[in-house]
Amino acid sequence: MMIHNVAIVGVGLIGASLGLGLKDNHKIEKVVGIDQNPHHLQQALDIEAIDETADIKKGVQAADLVVVAVPVGSIKSVVDEVLKYAKAGTIITDVGSTKSNLVQDLEHKSATKDCIYIGGHPMTGSEVSGPIAADKYLFENAIYVLTKTEQTDQASLDELQQLVEGLGAQSLIISPEHHDQTVAVTSHLPHLVAVNLMKTASEYEVDDELITSLIAGGFRDTTRIAAGDPEMWKDIFLNNRELVLNAVEVFEDKLADFKEMINQASAEELETDLEETRQARRELPMKKKGLLASNFELILTLPDEPNAIGQAATLLGEAGINIQDIEVLKVRDDGGTIRLSFKQEEEQEQAYRLLKENNYKVVKKQ
């Protein structure tokens, strides 16, 4: 079935971003928003992430595709509701951060109503929730997981794959189990570590008010995600319980080994361990929004002046050089460091020369 009408249940960060991204898809005629929070519906309308709002019955009846973008713990009950009203052949997908639990239940249930459920998970987002944080380009260059099982209808999977690639994402089709195993380590464990790092600092802060003043970039970088939505993360931990607990055990072993090296004052061992880890970190493909390599990069240091980024970007833009991605690496009182990515090596070279000629502090990233 061709997808022309989309209903999004849950027009928060991910749902509203999807709505905005779908605006550029000429095959989509209408995006309807459904949400239990009327303020979110109004905001989604205001930013034109959705064309109209509806209740679940009306919204779903006309849809060829229903995207469920609510917290993981509410996805099953929302899909149950969707299945009451969806017409035969409707594709139902979700964006939840865990998959096995959902796919096991919803694939079969949907099939009994002649609907097709395919699990989804865009590997991109932020620690800020709600449609207010929605971003049209959120999915660009991000990995978007779609799950495949023995029951998956290939034509519907193809259709959905085309749709997510139309958002600029790169689809990755894997089993729900493989997905959950991987994200337990790459997403859920880091969140747990960030939360507990934050809690450790808060505990010290009780007796030492300097704690919050002596925070450097490293602490900010490693705890940013601890500001994520508690309801969402509670659901993620509980839905991927076993695999998260396994990952925590492996992490605890690493901590115990590390503690032991410090305790024994094993300088050489510590240095070797740190060197090996540094190497492994450096070998991570420099990724943007997920697992994609971004190939040709410049590191640019800018002064703390109004429109400093704008001026540099304009200089490149006027020379016809397209910046594929910008990332703020460091913010200091006197300025900051940003990473610019380019698709082509020639663009990187051209940008490098132009910035140098204009007295910018710029280095090529190896």
Ligand X SMILES: O=C(O)C(=O)Cc1ccc(O)cc1
Chain residues binding ligand NAI by CB under 6 A are: 9-15, 35-37, 40, 69-72, 74, 78, 95-97, 121-122, 125-126, 129-130, 229, 232, 236
Q: Which of the listed partners (ligand X, ligand NAI, none) does 187 bind, with a CB threshold of 5 to 8 Å by partner kind?
A: ligand X
Determine the Cα–Cα distance for residues 362 and 279; give it in Å rounded to an integer: 24
Strand partners, 33: 8, 53
Contacts of 341 (CB under 8 A, 6+ apart): 288, 294, 295, 296, 297, 323, 324, 325, 326, 327
CB of 52 to ligand NAI, least distance (A): 16
Q: How is 178-226 classified by DSSP, letter by letter?
A: HHHHHHIIIIIHHHHHHHHHHHHHHHHHTT-TTTTTT--HHHHHHHGGG
Contacts of 172 (CB under 8 A, 6+ apart): 143, 144, 145, 146, 291
- Render the burial of 303-332: b for 16+ CB within 10 Å, e for the rest: eeeeebeeebbebbeeeebebbbeeeeeee
CB of 241 to ligand NAI, least distance (A): 15
Phi, psi of 355 (to 5 degrees): -65, -40
123 sits near ligand X (criterion: CB under 6 A): yes
Between 170 and 301, name the residue whose CB sits nearer to ligand NAI: 170
Write the binding mask 242 to 281 for ligand X: x where contact by CB under 6 A, - elsewhere: ----------------------------------------
135 sits near ligand X (criterion: CB under 6 A): no
Between 124 and 294, name the residue whose CB sits nearer to ligand X: 124
Between 124 and 223, name the residue whose CB sits nearer to ligand X: 124
Between 123 and 157, name the residue whose CB sits nearer to ligand X: 123
Using DSSP, state whether 2 is helix, strand or coil: coil
Determine the Cα–Cα distance for residues 231 and 239; give it in Å rounded to an integer: 12
Binds ligand X by CB under 6 A, chosen from 32, 92, 225, 300: 225
Q: Which of the listed partners (ligand NAI, ligand X, none) does 74 bind, with a CB threshold of 5 to 8 Å by partner kind?
A: ligand NAI
CB of 335 to ligand X, least distance (A): 24
164 sits near ligand X (criterion: CB under 6 A): no
Tell me the number of residues near ligand X by CB under 6 A.
8
- Give me the residues that bind ligand X (CB under 6 A), please: 97, 123-127, 187, 225
